[in-house]
Structure 1
Amino acid sequence: MSEKLHISRMVRREMHSSRAVASAATAAAAAGLLLWMALETALSAAGQPAVIARPLDAGRWLAGTAGSAAPSALTAAGAGLGLAGLLFLMLAVAPGRRARHALGSGRAAVVADHEVIAAALSRAARRQAGLAPGQVSTTVGSRSVSVTIQPTSGIPVDAGAVKAAVDGELATYALRRRMRSSVRVTTKGVLGQ
C-alpha cells in the first residue's frame, strides 16, 4: 500500500465517526426481540406459561388497540415510532463527520479539532488587534470561521486587518477544505484590557 493512500485512510478514519455503536445497538435490540419471540413460541408449544406474553396474544392485543385506544395515543405512538425510524435512517445515511479538519502535510496525517483551530485563530486576531484573551471568540464550522471581537471601549479595531491576519493564519494550515472567514466587531466594548 502506498504511503499517500495509507495517510489518506488514517485521515478519513479520524475525521468520520464509526457506525459500530449504532450497528451493535440495533443488532442487540433485534436479536433480543427475536430471542424473546423464540422463547415464547417454544414455551407456548410446550404448554408452559409465557414469560411476558405469547406472541399470538401480543399480536391480538396490538391489533385490538387500534379500535379501543384513543386516537391521540395512537398518533403519539406512531409519531414516536416514526421518529425512531428517522433516527436510524439518519444514522445509516449521514456522513458522520467529526468536528475536525485535515491539515496539509506531505509526510504525516495531521488532524486538528475545531477547538484547536479556533484557539489559534483567536490568538492571531488578538495579536493583530492588541486585545486581551477574553475579548476575542472564534467559532469554526465545517466550511466557515467566525471571529467576534469585543473591543476596548474608545479604541477602534480595524476589522480588515484582523480578517487578513485570520486568513493568513488559515493559509498556513493548508486545510483540505477551503474555509471562508468573517470578522464581526461588536458595538459594545469592554473596560480596560
Structure 2
Amino acid sequence: MSTQALYRRAVRRETHSPRSALAITIAIVLALVLAWLGTESVLAAIGQQPLLVAPKDIVTAVLTAATAPAPLLVAIGVVAAIVGFILIVLSLAPARQGRRGSIADRTATVVDDRVIAQSLARAASYAGDIDPSQVNVSVGARSARVDVTPTSGRRVDQREIQQAVDAEVASYDFRPALRVKVKLNEQGTVA
C-alpha cells in the first residue's frame, strides 16, 4: 500500500464515525431475542410454564397470521418498514465527525472543527478590533458562520472581517473545504 493511500485511509478513519455502535445494538437485540426463544423452547421441552409465550403458540400465531384483521397486519407491516428504512438510512448516511483532514507529501493532519472555529474567531476579532468573546463561530459540514457582536458606539467593517476570515480559510488545506459567512449583529454590546 502506498504512503498516500495509507494517509487517505487514516484521515478517513479519523474523520468519519464507525458504525460499530449500531451493529452492536442490533447484535445485542438479536442475541436477547434468540436467548428468549431458546429459554422458551427449553421450558416447553421440560414441561414448565412459559415466561411470556409458549413456542407452540408463536408458531401457531405465525401460521395463522393471514387470518388476522387487515388493520393489524398493515400496522405490523408499517412498523417493520419504518424500522427497516431507519436501519438502511443509518447504514448508508455519512457519519462525519467534527473533523477535517489534510494530506501533504509526508504527513497526514486531522484538525477538529472546534480548533478551526477558534482560529476563525481570532481572525475576525483581530480584523474587527473587537474582543474575542464578541465573536461566535459555528462550523458545519461545508460551511462556517461567524456572528460578530460589535461594541456599542464603534463601527465595525463587515467586509474587512469577511476578507480576513476568507484569507484564514484559504490558508487551510483541509477537506471538505469551508465556505464562510460573516453576520454582523444589529445590537452591540457594552464594553
Alignment check: 8 A CA contact 2:11 2:102 kept: no
Residue of structure 2 equivalent to 1:154? 153
In structure 1, stretches of 5+ residues that fail to align are: none
Q: 2: distance between equivalents of 1:26 and 1:100?
A: 27
Alignment check: 8 A CA contact 2:7 2:103 kept: no
* Residues 1-150 of structure 1 aligned to structure 2 (within 5 Å): 1-58=1-58, 84-150=83-149
SS in 2 for 1:173: coil
26-35 vs 45-54, which moves further = 45-54
SS in 1 for 2:122: helix
Alignment check: 8 A CA contact 1:126 1:136 kept: yes
Give the number of aligned pairs: 189
Cα RMSD between the aligned structures?
2.8
TM (norm. structure 1) is 0.83
- Structure 2 residue identity aligned to 1:163: Q
35-44 vs 2-11, which moves further = 35-44
- Structure 1 residue identity aligned to 2:38: A
Q: 1: distance between equivalents of 2:169 and 2:133?
A: 21
Q: 1:62-85 deviations in whole A, cap 9, x for unaligned? A: 999xx9xxx8xx96x887666544
Q: 2: distance between equivalents of 1:106 and 1:2?
A: 12
Identity over aligned pairs, percent: 35
46-55 vs 22-31, which moves further = 46-55
Alignment check: 8 A CA contact 1:104 1:173 kept: no
- 1:174–1:35: structure 2 CA closer, same or farther, 3 Å change rule? same
Q: 1: distance between equivalents of 2:60 and 2:182?
A: 63
SS in 1 for 2:170: helix
TM (norm. structure 2) is 0.84
SS in 1 for 2:130: coil
Q: 2: distance between equivalents of 1:110 and 1:81?
A: 43
1:58 positional shift = 4.9
In structure 2, stretches of 5+ residues that fail to align are: none
